[in-house]
Structure 1
Amino acid sequence: PQRWHQLLAAEREVVLEPAGANDPSIAYAVVWKHKPNLLSGLPNLRAIFSVGAGVDHIFADPGLPDVPIVRVVADNLTQYMTEYVVWRVLDHHRHGMLYRAQQPKKTWHEPPQRPAGDISVGIMGLGHLGRAAASVLLSLGFAVNGWSRT
């Protein structure tokens, strides 16, 4: 919270937590996994900003006010996340941890390699990021299973 406070406070008044249950001074909330019902008593709230790409934590709030919700969309976020997911899957699939453990010992015991099609990869969340990662993994031949709330 302190880093956000420093970044935002240069041009506006910033409140880290509402002063009371009905704090009228707050028009915009910048949140990540906030306390349930924290926003419900803010009579002048105009919008909620999520500091992460996801907004599930906001929709989980039982006292969610009826205001616009804004999420982070970075130009390269999908590409970076897809690369990270593919790297982790390939590292696991090709026994990267085993080879890194063998390297300082200068021993090389190659385990049997399985084709990508024999490996099932689960993606929990098929939003924009999950679909992008699933698409690349499918193109590499992995069996991809996905889950989505919607």
Structure 2
Amino acid sequence: MTLTVLFSARPALWDDYRTVLPAALSAEGIAARLVRMADPAEVDYIVYAPNDDLTDFAPFTRAKAVLSLFAGVERIVGNPTLTQPLCRMVDPALCEGMVEWVTAQVLRHHLWLDRNIGRRAWVQEAPPLARDRRVTMLGLGELGLAAARMLRALNFRVTGWSRSPKTDAGFPTFHGEDGLKPALEGAEIVVTLLPDTPATRGILDARSLGWLAPGAAVINPGRGPLIEDAALLAALDAGQVGHATLDVFHTEPLPPEHPFWARADVTVSPHIAAVSRPATAATVIAANIRRAEAGETLLHRVDRARGY
């Protein structure tokens, strides 16, 4: 039987996937036609990224799963019409990209690389060694744990925090509401790699930013709502935060009038820390469809109650 796979995403993504996804399905032994439009009653799987054309999943009564092209599913997970299994994107290449980006940004702040940009003075300042630099990772899912372990391999003093306990991280960890302060207290660099859920929104606010070491660097490649913008701006003005490197924002693209653009102590990165790369993401999608057709458990299925 030939499956019908609906590709529902922004038009710009179609050219990226129209060839690689059918090839990946074929490599998995799946006979399928990849389409951008179809009778909902005939669709077997939906490959999805947020778009305005598909907001009602109720007519897709035959669909066995909705397979997200993105790691974050906060824009879809609460959709009441979505009753099909939802799987998020967990791609080794996406993880690699995130680890590289986080490591580069942490090293940038650790080594004070920005201090000599435009400086016309010979000032010999040596940063501390990594073993003396306290880094806190907020979020110990696949991406956060991989990035934290890379930083630990470079000898940083890594501490982690997650909503639930982590017993095998390889470095000190805290969890839950009571564990947030000891995880952040005295941190010189903080990286946020948490999902956007009601429990994590605003986790870096005026109170928690006050726990950091004075002049700390905040690095956010996770989700924009993890940080309260007003609190971060106030902490920057006060010198409590020395620099913020932000890849994600409450509104994207970041509006031209947003104060982040005008600040020398804020680096704006256009949501590129980790992106789904079509060649590898297609293999993840194809493998999950093969599993579903074989009656096996879907990988990376979203827990609706937790939101990821």
**Shorter-chain TM-score: which interval?**
0.5 to 0.7
Quote the offset at 1:25 in angstroms.
Answer: 4.3
CA contact (8 A) 1:26 1:45 kept: yes
Selected match of 1:98 from 77, 95, 115: 115
1:24-39 to 2 correspondences below 5 Å: 24-33=41-50, 38-39=56-57
The aligned residue for residue 34 of structure 2 is 12
Alpha-carbon distance in structure 2 between the residues aligned to 1:108 and 1:38: 62
Alpha-carbon distance in structure 2 between the residues aligned to 1:58 and 1:110: 51
Question: CA 1:132/1:42 → structure 2, altered by over 3 Å: closer, same or farther?
Answer: same
The aligned residue for residue 151 of structure 2 is 137
Quote the offset at 1:131 in angstroms.
Answer: 0.6
1:107-118 to 2 correspondences below 5 Å: 107-111=121-125, 113-116=127-130, 117-118=132-133
1:59 is paired with a residue of what secondary structure? coil
1:48 is paired with a residue of what secondary structure? strand
1:4 maps to a residue whose letter is L
Alpha-carbon distance in structure 1 between the residues aligned to 2:161 and 2:118: 31
Residues 81-90 or 4-13, more deviating: 4-13
CA contact (8 A) 1:37 1:62 kept: no
2:161 matches 1:146: yes
Residues 83-92 or 135-144, more deviating: 135-144
1:85 maps to a residue whose letter is V
The aligned residue for residue 46 of structure 1 is 64
Alpha-carbon distance in structure 2 between the residues aligned to 1:59 and 1:110: 52
Relative contact order (alpha carbons < 8 A, sep ≥ 6): 1 or 2 greater?
A: 2
Alpha-carbon distance in structure 1 between the residues aligned to 2:58 and 2:124: 57
Calculate the TM-score normalised by the size of structure 2: 0.37
Quote the offset at 1:133 in angstroms.
Answer: 0.7
The aligned residue for residue 106 of structure 2 is 89
The aligned residue for residue 120 of structure 1 is 135
1:12 is paired with a residue of what secondary structure? strand
2:60 is paired with a residue of what secondary structure? coil
The aligned residue for residue 11 of structure 2 is 2
The number of equivalent residue pairs is: 140
CA contact (8 A) 1:45 1:67 kept: no
CA contact (8 A) 1:47 1:69 kept: yes
CA contact (8 A) 2:18 2:34 kept: yes
1:107 is paired with a residue of what secondary structure? coil
Question: CA 1:58/1:142 → structure 2, altered by over 3 Å: closer, same or farther?
Answer: farther
Residues 130-139 or 30-39, more deviating: 30-39
1:145 is paired with a residue of what secondary structure? strand
1:144 is paired with a residue of what secondary structure? strand
CA contact (8 A) 1:118 1:142 kept: yes
Alpha-carbon RMSD across the aligned residues, in angstroms, is 3.3
2:12 maps to a residue whose letter is R
2:136 is paired with a residue of what secondary structure? strand
Residues 57-66 or 47-56, more deviating: 57-66
Alpha-carbon distance in structure 1 between the residues aligned to 2:127 and 2:12: 46
